[in-house]
Amino acid sequence: MKYDFDTIIDRRSSDSVKWDVGANELPMWVADMDFPTAPEIWEALAKRLAHGVFGYADVSAQWRRAYVDWWRDRHGLTMEEENLVFCTGVIPALSSAVRKFTTPNENVLIQTPVYGTFYNCIVNNGCRAQECALRYENGEYSMDFEELERCMADPQTSLMILCNPHNPTGNIWSREDLAKVGELAKKHGVIVLSDEIHCDITAPGSGYVPFASVSETCREVSITCIAPTKTFNLAGLHTAAAYSANPVLRHKIWRAVNTDECGEPGSFAETAAVAAFTEGGPWLDEMRAYVFENRRLVADTLRAELPEVFVVPGEATYLLWIDITAMNGNSEEIAHFLREKTGLFLSDGRHFGDTGAEHLRMNVACPRALCEDGVRRLIDGLRMWKDRNLQ
């Protein structure tokens, strides 16, 4: 490997949300990585920093081209440069879209369990989170199209936030599934906000399907949110984009993010995105291989040592969705117990909606030694839980 993912970097003194924990605690919750970003990006940022002048900034043609080329070359999506809109994050764009496209008390459809902040984007803007549960059978998730149509057919439903690939289950949605979502959305007049922030972190050898690449209908009904921030560990730099091929939706999302004042880049936003999408490919490919080895390590160790607890098979994200149904307790109690007894800090599955109450989410974007430490604490803690509660 050309790049180093093994070195442990102390993040405790860097204002990290994730690492604001006690001395012996091991945080594997918030979705950022414990790796430094790609050296190519770091060098580009250092050069920008050395310039020393940080006045108001804007994105350039180079920024547009970097996004367009990356999605064409890696994901087979053709975007028109002029249809990209800068925004400071995917969540700011989603929140802004909810404000722009709904009136109070309308429904915004989400497929649960799903990234918990979607609830905030919806509820904090006066709408209802319309929970359309994913089907969960034999330890695997799939879309429930009957339920999806029932939800979309509600005349109060105006938006759907699609998570593609899906956080926390790790599903990569198929072209067929996405085509059906597009058809239903068109039939019932629902706009699809496709959050594709996790799209680059797929198992080596597998890709994802951009919603807007599926059909003319999918292009027409959607706004796609994309960013280099998950992929290259740049969340603190606040740099993202919204895209729509539909000129009306494109105009509205542009107005939305600008009205909400989340459409103006900071001094490092363009540099980071351009370096990531023009020079980050080799680092990304090594990082994916490393992280998917961490995924395998956790899944295999659980299978060998505590087989009643298992990792839901997923082909995307560095987030493991762990089924703890056999532990006979809810995720909140068990996450709390693990933290108290072993220092391991995982996400309580209920942050992803009530359908997450029997799961924990574990972030394995970390050096192998931390991943090994995490899985050890997980198994020891769950064994302790069993000894106390399942006799």
Ligand X SMILES: Cc1ncc(COP(=O)(O)O)c(C=O)c1O
Number of residues that bind ligand X (CB under 6 A): 13
Give the span between the Cα atoms of 66 and 74, in whole angstroms: 12
Determine if 31 is a binding residue for ligand X (CB under 6 A).
yes
Helix (H, G, I), strand (E, B) or coil at 345: strand
Determine if 314 is a binding residue for ligand X (CB under 6 A).
no
Residue 229 and residue 19 in contact, taking contact as beta carbons nearer than 8 Å: no
Phi, psi of 59 (to 5 degrees): -90, 155
CB of 235 to ligand X, least distance (A): 5
Determine if 257 is a binding residue for ligand X (CB under 6 A).
no
Give the span between the Cα atoms of 154 and 342, in whole angstroms: 46
Determine if 163 is a binding residue for ligand X (CB under 6 A).
yes
Q: Which stretch binds ligand X (CB under 6 A): 7-15, 20-28, 89-97, 210-218?
A: 89-97
Per-residue contact string for residues 165-204; x = within reach of ligand X by CB under 6 A: --x---------------------------x-x-------
Determine if 98 is a binding residue for ligand X (CB under 6 A).
no
One of 77, 193, 227, 312 touching ligand X (CB under 6 A): 227
- 76 in the Ramachandran plot: left (φ > 0), alpha (ψ -120 to 50) or beta? left
Q: With respect to ligand X, which residue has the nearer C-beta, 86 or 115?
A: 115
Q: Which stretch binds ligand X (CB under 6 A): 84-92, 99-107, 149-157, 211-219?
A: 84-92
- Per DSSP, the residues of 235-286 read GGG--EEEE-SSHHHHHHHHHHHHHTT-----TTHHHHHHHHHHH-HHHHHH
Give the span between the Cα atoms of 303 and 70, in whole angstroms: 37
Determine if 91 is a binding residue for ligand X (CB under 6 A).
yes
Q: With respect to ligand X, which residue has the nearer C-beta, 197 or 379?
A: 197
Residue type, 260: D
Footprint on this chain of ligand X (rule: CB under 6 A): 31, 89-91, 115, 163, 167, 195, 197, 227, 229, 235, 240
